[in-house]
Amino acid sequence: MSAPLTVAVTGLNATDNPGPGVGVIRSLRHCRDDVRVVGLAYDALEPGVYADGLVSDVFLIPYPSQGIDPLRDRLSYIRERTGFDVIIPTLDAELPGFVELAPELAAQGVGTLLPTREQLDLRCKAKLAALGDKGLPVPASRVLTDVTQLYAIHEVIPFPIVVKGPYYGARVAHTLEEAVAAFYKMVGEWGYPVIVQQFVAGQELCVCAVGDGEGGLVGAVQMRKTVITDKGKGWAGVAIRDPGLSQLTATFMSATRWRGPCELEVIRDADGGYHVLEVNPRFPAWCFLSAGAGMNLPYAVAELAAGRELSPLHDYRVGTMFVRIALDQISDMDAFSRMSTAGEVVRSHGVAR
Partner 1 sequence: MSRPLYDRPILARHQTGLMNKFSRVASMQPQTHVDGVPVQTLIEAYGSPLFVFSEKTIVARYRELRDAFARRFSKVRVAWSYKTNYLDAICRVLHREGAWAEVVSEFEWEKARHNGVPGERIHLNGPLKTEATLRRVLPEGTLIHIDNFDELALLERLADELHLTPKVALRVNLAVESIPAWSRFGFNLESGQAMTAANRILTGKRLDLVGLHCHLGTFILDPASYREQASKLAGLANELRRAHGAIMSFLDIGGGFASRSKLKAQYLPGEQASPSFDRYAAACAEGMAALDYPAGSEPTIVLESGRALVDDSGTLLSTVIANKRMPDGQRGLVVDAGVNVLFTSFWYDHDVVPAQPFGGISEPTVMYGPLCMNIDVVRDTIQFPPMRAGDQVVFRNVGAYNVTQWMQFITYRPAVVIIGADGRHGIIRKREQLETLLASEEVPSWL
Partner 2 sequence: MQRLRDLAISDTGFVFDPFSGATYTVNGTAQCLLDGLKRGLDRDGLVALLRERFECSDEDLPRDIDDLVQSLRMFGLVPGGFEVGR
- Half-sphere exposure of residue 73, counting CA atoms within 13 Å on the CB side? 7
* 255 versus 335: smaller Cβ distance to partner 2: 335
State the Cα–Cα distance between residues 322 and 284, nearest whole angstrom: 13
State the Cα–Cα distance between residues 167 and 57, nearest whole angstrom: 28
Which residue in the set 2, 4, 34, 66 belongs to the binding site for partner 1 (CB under 8 A)? 66
State the Cα–Cα distance between residues 212 and 125, nearest whole angstrom: 22
The answer to the question of residue 145 lying near partner 2 (CB under 8 A) is no
* Residue among 29, 36, 101, 25 nearest 62 (CA): 101
Which residue in the set 72, 338, 346, 348 belongs to the binding site for partner 2 (CB under 8 A)? 338
Bridge partner residues of 55 (DSSP):
none
Residue 228 in contact with residue 198, Cβ under 8 Å? no
CA 211 to chain centre: 14
- Least CB distance to partner 1 at residue 54 (A): 21
The answer to the question of residue 340 lying near partner 2 (CB under 8 A) is yes
The answer to the question of residue 337 lying near partner 2 (CB under 8 A) is yes
338: partner contacted, choices partner 1, partner 2, none (Cβ within 5-8 A by kind): partner 2
- Least CB distance to partner 1 at residue 330 (A): 19
Residue 167 in contact with residue 190, Cβ under 8 Å? yes
The answer to the question of residue 193 lying near partner 1 (CB under 8 A) is yes
Alpha carbon distance, N-terminus to C-terminus of the chain:
15
203: partner contacted, choices partner 1, partner 2, none (Cβ within 5-8 A by kind): none
Binding segment for partner 2 (CB under 8 A), chosen from 1-9, 21-29, 308-316, 329-337, is: 329-337
Paired sense of beta strands 161-164 and 170-173, if any: antiparallel
* SS3 state of residue 235: strand
Paired sense of beta strands 259-268 and 344-346, if any: unpaired
Number of residues near partner 1 (by CB under 8 A)? 39
- Least CB distance to partner 1 at residue 134 (A): 14
193: partner contacted, choices partner 2, partner 1, none (Cβ within 5-8 A by kind): partner 1
DSSP 177: H
DSSP assignment of 76-114 equals HHHHHHH--SEEE---GGGHHHHHHHHHHHHHTT-B---
Which residue in the set 1, 201, 326, 333 belongs to the binding site for partner 2 (CB under 8 A)? 333
Which residue in the set 167, 224, 308, 335 belongs to the binding site for partner 1 (CB under 8 A)? 167
Which residue in the set 69, 271, 309, 334 belongs to the binding site for partner 1 (CB under 8 A)? 69
Residue 316 in contact with residue 276, Cβ under 8 Å? no
337: partner contacted, choices partner 2, partner 1, none (Cβ within 5-8 A by kind): partner 2
Which residue in the set 30, 32, 45, 255 belongs to the binding site for partner 1 (CB under 8 A)? 45
143: partner contacted, choices partner 1, partner 2, none (Cβ within 5-8 A by kind): partner 1
Binding segment for partner 1 (CB under 8 A), chosen from 122-130, 213-221, 242-250, 324-332, is: 122-130
* 44 versus 176: smaller Cβ distance to partner 1: 44
Phi/psi of residue 190, nearest 5 degrees: -125, 0
Q: Which amino acid is at 225?
A: K
Binding site for partner 1 (CB under 8 A): 42-45, 60-70, 73-74, 93, 96-97, 100, 126-127, 130, 142-146, 149, 166-167, 187, 190-193, 340, 343
Chain residues in the site for partner 2 (CB under 8 A): 333, 336-338, 340-342
